[in-house]
Amino acid sequence: VPYTFQDASLLDVRSYVGGGWENSSENKTFAVEDPADQQILANVSDSSVADYERAIDIANTAFKAYRQLTPSNRGQLLRNWAQAVRESSRDLAALCTLELGKPINESIKAVAYAASCLDWFANLADQGCGGETIPSSGNGGRNRIWTVRRPVGVVCAITPWNSPYSGVLKKIAPALAVGCTIVHKPAPETPLCAMALAKTCQRAGFPAGVYNVLASSPGRAAVVGSLFCSHPSVRHVTFTGSTAVGRYLAERCGANLKKITMELGGNAAFIVFDDADLDLAVRELIACKFNSSGQVCIYANRVLVHKGIEKAFTDRLLVAIQERVRLGSPWDDKVTLGPLYAKAGADKIEALRADALAKGASLHTPDVYEDGSTYYPPTVMTRITQEMRISHEEIFGPLVAISTFDKEEEAVSLANSVDTGLAGYVFTQNISRLFRVAEELQAGMVGAQTGSISAIEQPFGGVRDSGMGREGSIHALEEYTDIKSITLAL
Ligand code: ADP
């Protein structure tokens, strides 16, 4: 690894439970791979179901005192955490490049964004969660109702590998802001990032047991998930990952009446009308396709281009890719496209590409992918049709799949022809059409004249098979609180 850690104590393969660091009670470990060369990076403690159960009990005990802290106490702790993240920002960025293969410049930005998420929720924590006063007709008009928001209790979080800092903090920070305590299972691909983040949390001075992080091997995910959904002390399960796993967890939480936040898969349409500013659309598509090697759930999956501009758009896109997208080692600061998170990512893209080619798609970029590699070259295909798997499945990689439409209604109906509803994008210089289409898209989030929509103040989440609940924005606090109404008879 071409990097020397300034603070080696950030690197830990144990779990963070009850304010301390421990190995799994079974003394087992699992291997984590470097996506750049597919060699083993570390062996990480593989927590058992009993370890998670103990952590839930600890979090439940910690909740009793933590919920009593004042809003400004909790705000200060979150602000300390942001500071601790900033102090370790170089090392945290390097870990993200190491485990995820994210180009180092992107990793540095990702850590800065993570710290800003903590600051943002620190400010919300300071303000506290206010309630309302409601006039009532009860008791001859003498009743008054007021409401207070209460933290739900222990929250269990399950997170994926693709955003190991801000993706985690968007769940953890609002829950901590309102007074909940947490047991977190990070993705088995990025446990070192999770443990380093927990180190910075420990340094921020949170009381022991408020935030607990335990990693486990892929084979245990289902039993750990079942525990989270059924343990009587757990009040809320917050999950980001695939629709299939989200459905499984939501069913079990339903059976046990636990609250859920589900951030699931997407299949975003990126619509470009014939009156669009093509340079803008191309620039935004590059941002919405190649950052993080395209492994972001809100990124463009289906590029729908008006048939009159297909050639002009594709030609400009190919030039822009040539000029701006550079595939290579994630440690090279001129590289903008690193490896995929694992070989499984490349296998999926290859299968979608082969299926599309067999069904008549055209390939516009050199056919240079080396079988077995995690480095996937930027790829552009046109003549994509509904019969192809690529129109219905998440690509999650640097492959642009372009199809055409004629009328506005056709664009909207194609965009809405999938079961998911996470994000959508629309490019046109006609302001009425921009609003109309943005409102018609079945998606929780729309980029109108932009492909960069992520911001901590944005309500982030999907509709339909993309899940429920919102992260980011003040609505995130609602996820982790219940409303209590108090009726007073005057
Ligand atoms: P991805 O394809 O992004 O890895 P997954 O939904 O498989 O999506 O994984 C997201 C997170 O969910 C990871 O932390 C993973 O370990 C966890 N996970 C996978 N399967 C299950 C399951 N059956 N129950 C609970 N968590 C699971």
* Burial (Cβ within 10 Å: 0-12, 13-18, ≥19) of residue 467: buried
Catalytic residue of the set 297, 394, 471, 479: 297
pLDDT at residue 448, rounded to an integer: 98
297: annotated active-site residue: yes
Given a cut of 90, is residue 1 above it in pLDDT?
A: no
pLDDT at residue 380, rounded to an integer: 98
**pLDDT tens figures, 25-61:** 999 999 999 999 999 999 999 999 999 999 999 999 9
pTM of the model: 0.98
pLDDT at residue 131, rounded to an integer: 92
Give the span between the Cα atoms of 142 and 378, in whole angstroms: 68
What is the number of the ligand 1 atom nearest to the C-alpha of 248?
23
Going across the sheet that includes 445-448, the strands are: 362-363, 379-382, 399-405, 300-306, 268-272, 423-427, 445-448
pLDDT at residue 2, rounded to an integer: 87
Q: In the predicted model, what is the mean pLDDT of the chain?
A: 97
Ligand 1 close to Cβ of residue 248 (< 6 A) = yes
- The percentage of the chain sitting over the pLDDT mark of 90, rounded to a whole number, equals 99
Q: How far is the CA of 418 from the centre of ligand 1 (A)?
A: 22
pLDDT at residue 392, rounded to an integer: 96
Given a cut of 90, is residue 189 above it in pLDDT?
A: yes
Give the span between the Cα atoms of 481 and 180, in whole angstroms: 8
**pLDDT tens figures, 344-394:** 999 999 999 999 999 999 999 999 999 999 999 999 999 999 999 999 999
Catalytic residue of the set 99, 106, 189, 263: 263
Q: How far is the CA of 75 from the centre of ligand 1 (A)?
A: 31
Given a cut of 90, is residue 293 above it in pLDDT?
A: yes
Per-residue pLDDT, averaged over 414-443, amounts to 98
263: annotated active-site residue: yes
pLDDT band at 426 (very low <50, low <70, confident <90, very high): very high
pLDDT at residue 130, rounded to an integer: 87
**pLDDT tens figures, 227-285:** 999 999 999 999 999 999 999 999 999 999 999 999 999 999 999 999 999 999 999 99
* CA triple 203-204-208, angle to 5 deg: 80
Ligand 1 close to Cβ of residue 266 (< 6 A) = no
Ligand 1 close to Cβ of residue 242 (< 6 A) = yes
Ligand 1 close to Cβ of residue 158 (< 6 A) = yes
- The percentage of the chain sitting over the pLDDT mark of 70, rounded to a whole number, equals 100
Ligand 1 close to Cβ of residue 174 (< 6 A) = no
